[in-house]
Structure formats: C-alpha cells, structure tokens
Chains A and B, each alone.
Chain A
C-alpha cells in the first residue's frame, strides 16, 4: 500500500479527463490513456515591485515560481492553493534551499521587469515567501508519444515514449 503525504498544491483546472481529451485530440489517438500524475515542487514568492509608468510609479504584484529541482525561476499567473494528501510515489522532491530560491526569484523578477518594460531602473522588489508549493502534471500515454500536461495552465510538453 502506497504512502500519502500532505502537501500544498495548486488547485487543478485541467482534470485527468481534460488532459486525456487534449492529448487525444493532439495526436488523434482515441486509445490514449492517463498513465499517472506527477506532483512537482516549486518555491513560490509573491513579489511586490514598483514600476515606472506614464502616470508615475505604480506598485504591481507578481507571482514568481522557482523550480525546486532545476533552480529555474519564472513569473506566473496567480493560482489557488489547497492542502492535499498525495501519493509519495508521485511526489518529486527538490534539493534546493529556500535562501537560494529567494535569490533566484529576485533575479528572475528584476530581469523580467527590465526586459518587459525596456528600461534601466530599480524596481524595489520585495518578496514574500509562500513556501514550497506543488503542481500536478498528468502523464498521458498515446501511441505516438507520452505527453505531460500541466493541470493548472493546460500547457503540455512531450516526453519520450519509453524509458531510456
């Protein structure tokens, strides 16, 4: 019997059935099936920043996720969180510390703002940690490929068909 563990996880917007239909429509494979789910860890930060606009500086809030396995940062749309008991076999674990994650988040947000707003200025970024949060990815097996579907955004990425 598999063990379960309580984690903070993003509320699912795309169910296993949605992921299945999505992958089936992409590949045309009506026999596609959901193989499993993966619970992926991120450090989550609420970033409050001051950005220049035509009508003076404005405070904006952004969400920044830092991949706890690869250490990559990205800004993200806000999502709802909940506590859920998940199968430990589905749970991936990262070895990154929260101090490193905070540094990456700060760097990610300042770079992102500079690039998007095309300006050289300070943004006075302040980060509020939400701690470790998780996202569920559905793994759908089709005859042509294995597809990983993000349960919060519906984005997907192909995986190899079989294990190497």
Chain B
C-alpha cells in the first residue's frame, strides 16, 4: 500500500473524529439529550442508510467478493435474496412485533420470545444459542478487519488482527456519541460511492460488461452460468433455494436484526425507510459479487479470493480514493462487529445472568458480565483467527443458517399464528438448530442436494405447526397473550392509513383505554 492510501485513510478518520468533536462542542448537553430521547427526526433516508451501513458486515466486502471470484454468476443467487430481505423482514414481522414487544414490555429479542412463549427454557435455549452463534459471526468480522488492516497498512496479519480486535473492543467499551450520531450516514455514502466506483473502474478496465463476460467465457464458460464453476450446482434447486433464503427470510431469525423492529419508528417512516433501503441494496448488494466475478480477469492469480475487492480497489482506484473507501469499509466492519458484541453482551448479561444466575444483579455487575464475555469472545476469536482462520463466507453462512433455522418460525408465528405455543416454539428452535447444524457437518448437502438453511427451516416450521397443534389442550396460549396479539394485529375496522401513521409507542395505553371503554369502568 502506498503512503498516499494510508494518508487518506488516516484523513478519513480525522474527518470523522473532527465531526464528532465539533458536534459535542457545539451541541453540548442539549444535543446529546435530544439524541437520547429520539427527539431528532433523522427522516427515512438517513434511517435507512444508517441501518444499511451498520449491517453491511465483513461478509459483503470479503465473503461476497470471494464467492463471485470462486463461483462466477452463481453468487448472484445470494444477492437476489439479499436485495429484498430487509423489506420482506419489515413487512412480515416489523409492525406487529414492534407493538407486541412494546405491549409485553420486552427489552431484548430473547426476552420477547420468553414473554410470547412463556417458559424459562425458551429463554435459556434461545439465549445460549444466540450467544454462541453471534460469537461466530463476530469472528468473521475480526478476520475481515484483520485482513483489511494487514492489506492497508502492510503490517503482518497477526499484528493487524490484534490491532483490528483492539479497535473493535475500544469501540465497544467506549461507544459514545461519535459512534452513532454523525458517522454512520457519512460512512454509508462513502461506502456506496466507493463500491460503485470500484465496479465502474473494473468495467472500464475490461471494456464494459459484455466484453468482460466474453473474456470470462474464454476462461471458463461455466462461470457465466447460474450453476457455478464447472456447473457444480446444476439442477440442485435445494441448494439454490438455500442461497436465496439465507439473506431473505434468514434475516427474520437473527435476534440482533429483529431487535431493530422493537425500536422501530412509526410504521409510515419505517416503510419509507424500507424503500430507501431497497433502493440502496439494489445498487450496493450485487456490486461486491460482481467485483469478485470481474476479479477473475483483473487478478487471475489472486491467492486469497476473499481479498478480491480490496485488491481490485488497490489496483484500479486512485490512491486517495482507495484510502477513503477502505477506511469506510473498515469502519463498517468495526461498526457491525460492535453491534454484534453489544447484542451478545446484552443477551449474556440480561437474558442469561440476570434471569437465571443473579436476579438482583446491579448495573455494575451486568456491565462486568457483558464486558467479560466480550473480552472472552475477543481472545478466543483472536486465537482462532490467528491459528486457523476459516473463510468469512463459511462462518457467516453457518451462523445465519443455524440462527435462521432455529428462530424463523418462532418469530414469524409469534405475531401471525395464535396457536403457536410454548412446546411448539421450543421444539421448533431445538429441531431447526440441530438439523441445520447436522446438515452442515455431516455431508447431507452433497447427498440430498438441499442447503442446511432450507432443511433447517422446513424442519423447524413443520415442528412448530405439528407440536403446537398437538399440545393445544395441555399448553394453550395464555389469554392475555392472545389479547395482546389481537391488539397488535389491530383487529377491527381500522383504515390502513391510520395504522401506518399511528404511534406504536401508544399501543399499551391504547389497549388499557380500550379495555376501560369496553368495560365501561371509567
């Protein structure tokens, strides 16, 4: 890496820090309190871009490019699912989950599961599984951060990894206003412009998409097919379905993603934000896969396919732009890792430690537990990433498959199916996780040609339906939950435009007022 790249990389961070510092000096306490109270109306576009920049993880910058490089246009199955995943997620569980969690008083997504499916076992299993799998996902971010840092700075991978993990830890422990208020939006714009710049530069280098495709055809025509290199996945619709599902419906099983519904703004704002997110995805999501595909021609001797995007940027972009884009990518990876660690720490302290070990835990004890777990994940993650780093792609696909398989029916049925009960949810989670895990590690994918995600979701959904129906008499859904579900579904002749603009934070008051009016008790 040239000195110019490093200079502009440093400049990026200086600008971001400067913005944060200036904002703090200018706004002092009032601005901060306004932010904390949610009084700042950032609007649907900023909401959407902020969300996108913090959810685009190392997978997009390493895994997606690596997949495109290795498998050609087959990789686009994953992109297709990802483009509409956010809106699908929002449409299916967004508004109802927002109201349901509010009315149940649930603060975390795991607590929400326990309140909807009353059982300590639900919370225990969901909490432990989530902590375990989010730990894996964080590992992918460490590896991505370490590889990126090594490339940008030129220092050896072990040292670069240590620096990346250290920065992520500081980011998580210090947090603060800077991390959230002003930088995410700026970061998302730099990321989008930068990645599009890489795509355009790569296409220009190769004489356009048609010329590039012709050249790829000369290398290996099967890379242009939708069946992968050497037609390795030809006719394997079960694997294709898995690729489509993983980032579309798979999102609905991610506890740290569904948590966002619990803090969602008014449905109308969220809907417009969803449209912005889809537009952003339309441009952004296919780009890393495409860069990976084009890298087959630009960097034919690339030793690590997951470095395709970084290497193409380094080769084709002006040094200044490379520095800025890489800084934004690194910031996005760290921001995602930070979010994941916070979720993991929160679940460990609140959903496991406070709930099962020390019910009267003080705030200080909870913070200690969270930090201890985050530190443990960092140390274990560092060692794993150092000794035998798995590919970012395989970690993310594994974690998403198991989480999606375990939790998708539980979250969807929680808001849509009044017969979904505790035994159904618990067995569904256990079955989904076990099947996806077994599928991944026992070679069933080759023998059945069905992806772990598909097998897991089918088995967990079937289990949820069958067990819930069989146990309705011995474990009926409590009446108070059914009432809350009715309210969350807004049963009654209420025009849709009223629902879209109504304030979800008033759902609980509305239920109490409705009950008072119905009973005539007031």
Do A and B interact with each other, yes or no? yes
Residues of chain A having any CB pair with chain B under 8 Å:
26-27, 38, 40, 51-55, 58-63, 67, 69-77, 89-92, 106-108, 110-123, 125, 137, 139, 144-145, 147-148, 150, 153, 155-161, 163-164
* Cβ-neighbour of A52 out of B107, B176, B495, B497 (below 8 A): B176
A31–B376 alpha-carbon span in the complex (Å): 64
Closest chain-A Cβ to B398's Cβ sits at a distance in Å of 26
A14–B36 alpha-carbon span in the complex (Å): 24
Given the contacts A27-B495, A160-B492, A150 and B29 also touching, CB distance less than 8 Å:
no
Provide a sorted-by-A list of 14 A–B residue pairs whose CB atoms are within 8 angstroms: A38-B522, A51-B36, A62-B33, A70-B105, A72-B102, A118-B338, A119-B175, A120-B341, A122-B367, A156-B501, A156-B502, A158-B490, A159-B514, A160-B491
Closest chain-B Cβ to A77's Cβ sits at a distance in Å of 6
Residues of chain B having any CB pair with chain A under 8 Å:
17, 20-21, 24-25, 29, 32-33, 35-39, 102-103, 105, 107, 172-180, 263, 338-339, 341-342, 345-346, 350, 363-364, 367, 370-371, 374, 490-495, 497-499, 501-503, 505-514, 516-518, 520, 522
Chain A neighbourhood of B511, CB < 8 A: 70
Contact across chains for B363 and A119 when beta carbons are under 8 A apart = no
Contact across chains for B503 and A157 when beta carbons are under 8 A apart = yes
Q: Summarize A's interface: helix, strand, loop or mixed.
A: mixed
Given the contacts A53-B24, A54-B21, A60-B29, A159 and B37 also touching, CB distance less than 8 Å:
no
A33–B107 alpha-carbon span in the complex (Å): 37
Contact across chains for A119 and B498 when beta carbons are under 8 A apart = no
Minimum CB distance partner of B341 in chain A: A120
Chain A neighbourhood of B507, CB < 8 A: 157
Given the contacts A118-B339, A119-B342, A157-B503, A148 and B175 also touching, CB distance less than 8 Å:
no
* Cβ-neighbour of B517 out of A26, A69, A139 (below 8 A): A139
Chain B neighbourhood of A51, CB < 8 A: 32, 36, 176-177
Contact across chains for A120 and B370 when beta carbons are under 8 A apart = yes
Chain B neighbourhood of A40, CB < 8 A: 509, 512-513
Q: Summarize B's interface: helix, strand, loop or mixed.
A: helix
A135–B501 alpha-carbon span in the complex (Å): 21
Chain B neighbourhood of A38, CB < 8 A: 513, 516, 522
Chain B neighbourhood of A107, CB < 8 A: 107
Chain A neighbourhood of B492, CB < 8 A: 145, 158, 160-161
Given contacts A67-B508, A113-B36, A158-B510, 9 further A-B contacts (CB under 8 A): A54-B17, A55-B24, A69-B512, A76-B37, A92-B522, A117-B175, A137-B513, A144-B494, A144-B498
A107–B354 alpha-carbon span in the complex (Å): 12
Closest chain-A Cβ to B65's Cβ sits at a distance in Å of 27
In the A-B complex, list the 8 residue pairs whose CB atoms are closest, starting with the nearest.
A119-B175, A155-B503, A157-B506, A157-B510, A160-B492, A70-B508, A52-B176, A158-B494
A164–B36 alpha-carbon span in the complex (Å): 39
Chain A neighbourhood of B509, CB < 8 A: 40, 67, 69-70, 137, 148, 157
Contact across chains for B33 and A52 when beta carbons are under 8 A apart = no
Minimum CB distance partner of A88 in chain B: B522
A42–B338 alpha-carbon span in the complex (Å): 35
Chain B neighbourhood of A74, CB < 8 A: 505
Closest chain-B Cβ to A113's Cβ sits at a distance in Å of 7
Minimum CB distance partner of B35 in chain A: A116
Contact across chains for A120 and B172 when beta carbons are under 8 A apart = yes
Closest chain-B Cβ to A38's Cβ sits at a distance in Å of 5
Minimum CB distance partner of A74 in chain B: B505
Contact across chains for B516 and A117 when beta carbons are under 8 A apart = no
A139–B522 alpha-carbon span in the complex (Å): 13
A90–B513 alpha-carbon span in the complex (Å): 10
A76–B176 alpha-carbon span in the complex (Å): 20
A115–B343 alpha-carbon span in the complex (Å): 9
Chain A neighbourhood of B493, CB < 8 A: 144-145, 161
A158–B506 alpha-carbon span in the complex (Å): 10
Chain A neighbourhood of B363, CB < 8 A: 106, 110, 122-123, 125
Contact across chains for B37 and A121 when beta carbons are under 8 A apart = no
* Cβ-neighbour of B36 out of A52, A67, A75, A119 (below 8 A): A75
Given the contacts A92-B513, A120-B370, A145-B494, A155 and B505 also touching, CB distance less than 8 Å:
yes
A89–B520 alpha-carbon span in the complex (Å): 9
Given the contacts A40-B509, A163-B517, A53 and B177 also touching, CB distance less than 8 Å:
yes
* Cβ-neighbour of B177 out of A73, A75, A117, A155 (below 8 A): A117
Chain B neighbourhood of A153, CB < 8 A: 503
Given the contacts A120-B345, A158-B490, A111 and B174 also touching, CB distance less than 8 Å:
no
A22–B342 alpha-carbon span in the complex (Å): 40
Chain B neighbourhood of A116, CB < 8 A: 35-36, 38, 180
Given the contacts A114-B342, A115-B263, A116-B180, A148 and B510 also touching, CB distance less than 8 Å:
yes
Given the contacts A53-B177, A70-B103, A144 and B495 also touching, CB distance less than 8 Å:
yes
Minimum CB distance partner of B108 in chain A: A111
